[in-house]
Homo-oligomer: A and B are copies of this chain.
Amino acid sequence: MDNFVFSIPTRIVFGRGVEARSGAEVKQYAAKVLLCFGGGSVVKSGLLDRVRESLDAEGIQFLELGGIQPNPRLSLVREGIAVCRDNEIGFLLAVGGGSVIDTAKAIAVGVPYAGDGWDFFEYIAVPERALDVGVVLTIPAAGSESSTSAVISNSDISLKRGLTSELIRPRFALMNPELSMTLPPFQTACGAADIMAHVMERYFTNTRAVDFTDRLCEATLRTIIASAPRAIANPEDYDRRAEIMWAGSVAHNDLLSTGRAGDWGSHAIEHELSALYDVAHGAGLAVVFPAWMRHVFRHDVARFAQFAVRVWGVEMNWFNPEETALEGIGRLESFFKSIGLPVRLSELQIPPDRIPEMAAKCVVKGKGSAGNFVKLDAVDVAAILTSAL
């Protein structure tokens, strides 16, 4: 086990109706906030009005930044930074899923920074200060509601990049599983894949003697595997929505990485797909992860066999562990298919022609390689993407 530092200061308030606490929670931090949200569903459902009422009731002034899209754009981050500066705003309240939260986080570090906000995502600068961020979560997927990371797309240069900083961990997250009941089946499935990917990126490690976090990872994966199909079959199943929403936070709050180095190669590859083709992150991960696994599993067959046995209930073939390992990968792929996700690039209408370009860009940000479990070069990334055509 590696040394580590860990805390989860984000105050999670979880359950039915907790969005009514928006004003009371914000009040502890600021009197003037920027309310960030996406498009139709938070408006149609009445959620945005309930949040506005809660802010009004506590006498909190607010301006609004709506229209945030999936794979959130730098342009809107810049707009938000300007609004905050011009209006002396001290707090960002994100109402939505990962894209909205990540936009708020990017604005939060950008406001007190003299340079351009994109610098943090190019690793030219490291954030030293940030406005506080709070969350009303509607989509369990990104885990951004209690994580230290944010991912933003720069459409000018077709790049999607991530930032990690303790400064952008939200102060609070109001998590009402009912708010996720209106998610369409495909988006619920994408969220499940994203949550599972956050766990699997941590699970596939070269660190030895990490039995406890292995088991916590397996517990989280089995929860999603059990709950996601039921939430898709019955969107108003509160208990399944609740399991997914809570597991989605734990999957990415860093508990599951304590004492171990993760991989993150599949995320790096998927970000290239999203940057060029604007695919849903979870759908891209469902395509990339099984392909990545088949490319690297011989690096540690025992770990993949453990994954197959403990997560998928595969019976261990003691005389042919590779067969067990491959069966686990097959089960993951079948599971993604069963909940309506693509597992091939062709299902995403992605042709082979720009694979070399994506492979090259993917390894640039890692200074020549992507991932840690196995360090992938551009040839590896291209082979993985080609195998997923």
A219 touches B223 (CB 8 A): no
Cβ-neighbour of A212 out of B5, B18, B212, B219 (below 8 A): B219
Cβ-neighbour of A7 out of B11, B15, B219 (below 8 A): B11
In this complex, what residue of B is CB-closest to A10? B7
A39-47, A238-246, A337-345 - interface stretch: A238-246
Whether, in the assembled complex, A13 has its beta carbon less than 8 Å from a beta carbon of chain B, the answer is yes
Whether, in the assembled complex, A259 has its beta carbon less than 8 Å from a beta carbon of chain B, the answer is yes
A255 neighbours in B (Cβ, 8 Å): 250, 255
Closest-CB distance, A169 to chain B (whole angstroms): 11
A9 neighbours in B (Cβ, 8 Å): 7-9
> Which range holds the interface residue count of chain A?
35 or more
8 A Cβ contacts from A176-190 to B: none
A3 neighbours in B (Cβ, 8 Å): 14-16, 18
In this complex, what residue of B is CB-closest to A1? B242
Whether, in the assembled complex, A6 has its beta carbon less than 8 Å from a beta carbon of chain B, the answer is yes
A12 neighbours in B (Cβ, 8 Å): 4-7
Q: A1-B242, A219-B219, A259-B242 are in contact. Are A8 and B8 (CB under 8 A)?
A: yes
Cβ-neighbour of A15 out of B2, B215, B226, B227 (below 8 A): B2
Q: Name A's B-contacting residues (CB within 8 A).
A: 1-16, 18, 208-209, 211-212, 215-216, 218-220, 222-223, 226-227, 238-239, 242-243, 246-247, 250, 255, 258-259
Closest-CB distance, A326 to chain B (whole angstroms): 25
A215 touches B222 (CB 8 A): yes
Q: List 26 A-B contacts (CB under 8 A).
A: A1-B15, A1-B242, A1-B243, A1-B246, A3-B14, A3-B16, A4-B14, A5-B12, A6-B12, A6-B14, A7-B8, A7-B10, A7-B11, A7-B12, A14-B258, A209-B239, A209-B242, A209-B243, A211-B243, A212-B219, A216-B219, A216-B250, A219-B219, A242-B259, A246-B258, A246-B259
Extra 8 A-B pairs, beta carbons < 8 Å, given A2-B15, A209-B243, A212-B246: A1-B238, A5-B14, A6-B12, A6-B14, A7-B11, A216-B216, A246-B259, A250-B255
Closest-CB distance, A211 to chain B (whole angstroms): 6
A209 neighbours in B (Cβ, 8 Å): 239, 242-243
